[in-house]
Amino acid sequence: MGRPLHNERFAETALPKRTALPVFSADSLSSVAYAPDEIVLTLALAGISAVALSPWVGLAVVLVTAVVVAAYRQNLRAYPSGGGDFEIASKNLGRKAGVVVGSALMVDFTLVVAVSMSAAAQYLAAAFTSLIDHRTEVALVGVLLAGLLNLRGQQFMGRAAVVPTYLFVIVMFVLIGVGVVESVTGGLTPAPSSSWDVLPTADQQTAWSTLAMVMLILRAFSSGAVSVTGVESVAGSVQYFKKPKGRNAGTVLTIMGAISCVLLMGTIYLAQRTGAVVVLDPAAQLRIDGRAPTEDFYQNPLLGQLARSVFGLDTPMFYVVILATVLVLVFAASTAFSGFPALGSRLARDSFLPRQLKARGDRFAFTNGIIALLVAAALLVVLFRANVNGLVQLYVVGVFTSFTLTQAGMVRHWRRQRRYVHEPAARRRLIGTTVLAHVAFVLSATVLVIVLVTKFAQGAWITVVAMCLLGGLMLAIRRHYDFVDRDLKLERNSSARALPSRVHAMIIVPSVRKPAMRALAYARASRPSTLEAIVVDVSPAITTRILDEWRRLEIPVPVTVLDAPYRNSVQPVIDHLHRVRRRSPRDLVVVYLPEYVVGTWWERILHNQSTRALAGRLRFEPGVMIASVPWRVDSGDPAQTSSAGSGLQDPSSERTETR
C-alpha cells in the first residue's frame, strides 16, 4: 500500500522534538490508562487497607522511571544511531545478549499491541455499555485497524499521532487539575465504587502472613512498572529525530518521563480521594450490605471512574476523557507497529532474521513485519479474551530484560571509556555517568527479578518461553548464514572462477512448437561446443510425432531420445546428464527449458509442471546451468513488443564503470 518512498525523501521523515514527543510517547503515556488500575487491583487482593499503600507503590514506580530515563539519556548520546537496546547489548556484551534483547523486545511489541487494544476496548465499553460483552471483538478490530493504518506508512501515522497524544495529555492535566481543586475545596464527588465493601480474598485467609502481603505489594509494583515501558521505544527510534539526534531524543525522553510520572501519581491521588476501587473479580470481592453485584455489573476502569467523579456522568468531558484515552491507546499500538519492523530490519542486518527483511523501508519487509505482529497480537487478544489484567502478567518481563542487559552493556561501555578520558572535568562527568549506569543496572535487575518472581506463574512464563523460542530461532538463522558465508567466501584461485573448457547444450523438447523452437534458436545463438535436442519418450505416439516434425522442418540439430520406462520425465534427463558429465567432467552443461508464460495463477497450474520439476531437480546437479526460455503466450513477435513498459526509464540512473 502506498507508493514507495524515494531514498532522498528519507531525510524528510526526521522529526522535530515537538512532533517526536507525541509520536514516540503514546506508548509510554497511554500506560496511565491501565497501570494505576493494576496497582490498586493487586493491592485490593490484600484487603482494602492495603489500597492505602498505592501512593507508595506509585512513588517506587516513579523512582524507577526517573533512574531509567536518566540512564537512557546517556545511552542515547553514546549510541545515537538508532540501534537502541539491541545495538548496545550486542556491541558490549556479545551476540547472545543481543539476541536476548532482540527477542525480548519483539515479544514486548506484541504485548504493547495486545494490552493497549484490550484496554481501549475496556474504555469504550465504559462509555458505550452495549459493547461490554463484545470487548474481544472490539479489541480485535482495534488491532486490525492499527495494523492496516500502519501499512499506509510510518510517516502518516507519525504525523497523525500528534493530535491524540497532545489531546490526551491536556485532557489528563485538566482532569487531574480540576480533581485536585475539587478535592481541596471539598467539591469532589465520591466514586460510585467507593460504596462497595472489598472482601478479603481466599488466599488471604488461608495464607495470611507478612510474606504473602509483601509478595502482593511487590506484585502491585511489578504491574505498576508497565508505566516505565515506552522508554525502549524512543531508544529504538533515535534515527527519526532531527539532529543532534541523541540529545534531542534525550530531551524528549525526559519530558515524557516527567509527564508519565505526574499522570500516574495524579491518578493514584484522585483514586484515593474519590475512594474509587477496582478489583480482580467483582462477583467474589465486592459486596454492598453482603450482596454481590448483579450479573450485568461492569467495573469501570479507573480513569473512567475519575472522569465521572470529577466531571459527572454523561457530561461531554466524560466522553472526551474516554475518547482521548482510547485514541492514545490506539496510537500506542501504532508505535509498536512501526517499531517492530524497524527492529526486525536491524536484526536482519545482523543476520538474525531472513536477510530479505533488512532493507529499511522496503515494502516487502515492512508489510511482512506488520502482518506478523498483527497476527500475534490478535492471537493474544483472543486467547486472553481481551483481559487487560491477564495480559499485563506477560508484559514488563521483556522490557526489563532489555533494560537490564542494556545497562549491563552500558556499564562496560562507560568503564572502557575511562581509558580515553583524561581531562579532569570530563573524567568526573564520566564517573558520574558510570555510577548512574550501575545504579540503573542494579535497579532494572531488581525489578526484573521481582517481576519474574511475582508474575511467573501468573503468565510471565509464557513470555519467557516465547523469548527462548524466538532467540533460538534467531541464533539458528545466524549460524546458517555464517556457515553459508564461510562456504561462499572466494579464495584467490577458487575453482568457482575456473572457465569450463567446453559447453554442451541440451534442449528439452516436449513438443515441436514455438517455445521449443525459440529455446533451440537461443541455444544455437549461444554457439555451444555441442548441441543436442532431448526428447523423453513418455508416449511413443508423441515421440514419433516430434521426430516426424523434426525431419519435416529440417532442423539441423541431432535428437537424443531417452527411454522413460517409469513414465517419469525427470529421471531419464538426470541419468543422461550423468552420462554426459562422466564422459567430460570439466564441461559445462546448459539445459535449455522452454517455458510457456501465462498470466493468471490458475493458468500457471495448467502449464510447465514437468519443466518446473526438472528445473528443481537440476539445481542439485553440479556443473549444470539452467536456461529458461520464456515464451509469453499471446505475445506475438518479441521484436514488436520490445519497448513495452520502458517509458519509465531514466538514462541518468546508469553509470558504467570500466575496470
Residue list 341-370, contact with a copy of itself (CB under 8 A): 354-356, 359-362
Figure out which of the listed residues 291, 296, 566, 601 binds a copy of itself, where binding follows CB under 8 A. Answer: 566
Name the one range near a copy of itself by CB under 8 A: 12-20, 101-109, 463-471, 578-586: 578-586
| DSSP state letters, 279-333 | -S-HHHHEEBTTBPPPTT-----HHHHHHHHHH-TT-HHHHHHHHHHHHHHHHHH
Among 448, 515, 573, 614, binds a copy of itself (CB under 8 A): 515
Q: Which is nearer to a copy of itself, 427 or 514 (CB)?
A: 514
CB nearer to a copy of itself: pick between 419 and 655: 655
User: Which residues are within 8 A (CB) of 221 and not within 5 positions of it... i.e. 6 or more apart?
Assistant: 39, 57, 60, 61, 450
Beta carbon of residue 611, minimum distance to a copy of itself (angstroms, whole number): 10
- Give the one residue of 528, 531, 573, 614 binding a copy of itself; rule: CB under 8 A: 528
- Contacts with a copy of itself in 104-123 (CB under 8 A)? none
Q: Does 576 bind a copy of itself (CB under 8 A)?
A: yes
Q: Give the residue from 635, 638, 614 showing the smallest Cα distance to 626.
A: 614
Site track 454-483 with a copy of itself (rule: CB under 8 A), x = hit: -----------------------x--xx-x
Single out the residue of 72, 66, 75 nearest to residue 414, CA to CA. Answer: 75
Binds a copy of itself (CB under 8 A): choice among 436, 497, 508, 614: 497
Q: Which residues of 357-370 are buried (b: 16+ CB within 10 A; e: fewer)?
A: bbebbeeebbebbb
Task: Pick out residues in 253-282 that bind a copy of itself (CB under 8 A).
Answer: none
Per-residue H/E/C for 189-220: CCCHHHHCEECCCHHHHHCCCHHHHHHHHHHH
CB of 229 to a copy of itself, least distance (A): 31
Would you state the cell numbers that stand for residue 622, as one nine-digit string? 553440479
Give the residue carrying C-alpha cell 450485568: 296
C-alpha 654/C-alpha 301 separation (Å) is 61
User: Considering the complex, what minimum distance in angstroms separates the CB of residue 437 from a copy of itself?
Assistant: 31
Asked whether position 617 contacts a copy of itself by CB under 8 A, the answer is no
Considering the rule CB under 8 A, would residue 567 count as an interface residue with a copy of itself?
A: yes
Return the residue of 160, 178, 180, 559 that touches a copy of itself, per CB under 8 A: 559
Between 10 and 156, whose beta carbon lies closer to a copy of itself?
10
Q: Return d(Cα 260, Cα 276) in angstroms, integer.
A: 21
Q: How many residues bind a copy of itself (CB under 8 A)?
A: 127
Cα–Cα distance for residue pair 268/54, rounded to 1 Å: 7
- Unique residue bearing C-alpha cell 522442418: 553
State in Å, rounded, how far the first CA of the chain is from the last one: 41
Q: Which is nearer to a copy of itself, 291 or 497 (CB)?
A: 497
| Residue 612 per-residue DSSP state | H
- Shortest approach of a copy of itself to residue 24 CB, angstroms? 24
Q: How far is the CB of 161 from a copy of itself (least distance, A)?
A: 25
**Going residue by residue from 618 to 647, which x/- string records binding to a copy of itself, judged by CB under 8 A?**
xxxxxxxxxxxxxxxxxx-xxx-xxxxxx-
Provide the grid cell at 284: 467474589
- Determine which helix (DSSP H) or strand (DSSP E) holds 171, and give its type and residue range: helix 154-185
Half-sphere exposure of 269 (CA within 13 A, CB side): 19
Query: Which residue's CB is nearer to a copy of itself, number 15 or number 564?
Result: 564
Q: What is the smallest separation between the CB atom of 508 and a copy of itself, expressed in angstroms?
A: 14
For a copy of itself, the closer of residues 413 and 581 by Cβ is 581
Query: Segment near a copy of itself (CB under 8 A), from 71-79, 172-180, 410-418, 583-591?
Result: 583-591
Residues 532-551 binding a copy of itself (CB under 8 A) are 532, 538, 547, 549-551
